Amino acid sequence: MNEIQDEVEVGASAESEINLTDLERAADDAPVVKLCNHLLLSAIQKGASDIHVEPYEKSYRVRFRIDGVLHEEMSPPVKLKAALSSRLKIMAHLDIAERRLPQDGRIKLKVAKTRRWTSASRFCPPCSGKRSSSGSSTRAICSST
């Protein structure tokens, strides 16, 4: 995880707006792609029905729903918040610039030569209506189908 944290720099400070090209570039960085792939494959291996990616103002967490119970999987670095959210949106073929409205999409993966995995994805703005200081406050919920 430290390797991923050291390799990624997202081009937004707490006071600046996130540039769309910076988001796309950060989402395509190898460490972010590796982290997203690791999250999805880990969820498949553990039999998770949902993946909750929950950014908060000062923390960030990923939880899996296994047998109806949410289990905390990891806490990625807060600076990966925008890049990870954008990467999941790209995988679900959604608009990465939209952060105010809920979006629904589908992530399709080919896990093995004979096995495919499809996930319904929902990206929701925060319930409190407050924006996080880093600009991205999307909550992702991926459910396997």
Confirm whether pTM is higher than 0.75: no
Q: Tens of pLDDT along 106-115?
A: 888 887 777 7
pLDDT tens digits in sequence order for the chain, 145 residues long: 444 444 433 333 333 345 666 656 666 668 888 888 888 888 888 988 888 888 888 888 899 989 999 999 999 988 888 888 888 888 889 888 888 888 888 888 887 777 777 878 888 876 655 544 333 334 566 666 5
Q: Tens of pLDDT along 77-98?
A: 888 888 888 888 888 898 888 8
**From the CB of residue 25, how many other CB atoms can be counted at a distance below 10 Å?**
14
**From the CB of residue 31, how many other CB atoms can be counted at a distance below 10 Å?**
17
CA 118 to chain centre: 16
